[in-house]
Chain A
Amino acid sequence: GAGVSQSPSNKVTEKGKDVELRCDPISGHTALYWYRQSLGQGLEFLIYFQGNSAPDKSGLPSDRFSAERTGGSVSTLTIQRTQQEDSAVYLCASSLASGGTWAQYFGPGTRLLVL
């Protein structure tokens, strides 16, 4: 079946602009995660959604970052007033349910470059 898809695959933006990154999880997966991969910081957790529960936002680096998940499926990660340090690959993952017994499956990522 189809895996996790993300769009755009690449995004170049100017410092100070807002960007939106989209994630389509695997159909039927109730849990959705966002991670960031950068040279300096490695792979970092950003935010987690599970069903209708309040999201775990503990990994968001600043209030410029926000995410939503509409209808329990598609998720959008928004970065406002982008900074050069936001340049990274943003990875989305989904799992059948929450909890470690279910593996997280990752999308190909969105490579963000802030000039």
Chain B
Amino acid sequence: AQSVAQPEDQVNVAEGNPLTVKCTYSVSGNPYLFWYVQYPNRGLQFLLKYITGDNLVKGSYGFEAEFNKSQTSFHLKKPSALVSDSALYFCAAQDTGFQKLVFGTGTRLLVSP
């Protein structure tokens, strides 16, 4: 069965510092991996995806993620955090041949001024 783990409920970082939000996955085949962000009382906004190719994927708002097959990880990163990045971040996986997304439990990012 597919599963996604986000080991941190919350990540705290100071504005201007780099941030990392961790994600590991378990799928039976080659994974499609996604990051979404959710602001209060809003739906999920697509940030980036990994399908194949370069292990470093660049997305919206300066975010990027690194796919590591040997560690089955897909960590979200940003070189310099903004206060406005504070939100709930979800990692998701989709196994080839399946259509549904399996989500992690979410990580709350808090960027302090």
A positions within 8 Å CB-CB of B: 4, 6, 31, 33, 35, 42-43, 45, 48, 50, 56, 58-59, 91, 93, 98-101, 103-109
Contact = CB atoms under 8 A, between A and B. Distances in A.
Q: At the interface, is chain B mostly helix, strand, loop or mixed?
A: strand
Residue among A31, A45, A101, A104 with most chain B CB within 10 A: A104
B36 A42 contact: no
Given A33-B100, A42-B103, A100 B51 contact: yes
A104 B47 CA distance: 11
A48 B99 contact: yes
Contacts of A99: 99
A104 B101 CA distance: 9
B24 interface: no
Contacts of B106: 42-43
A99 B43 CA distance: 21
Contacts of A58: 100
B103 A50 contact: no
Contact of A100 (B32, B36, B105): B32
Nearest to B46: A103
Given A43-B90, A101-B51, A50 B99 contact: yes
Interface string B26-47: 0000001010100001111110
Given A42-B106, A106-B36, A31 B43 contact: no
Contact of B99 (A33, A103, A105, A107): A33
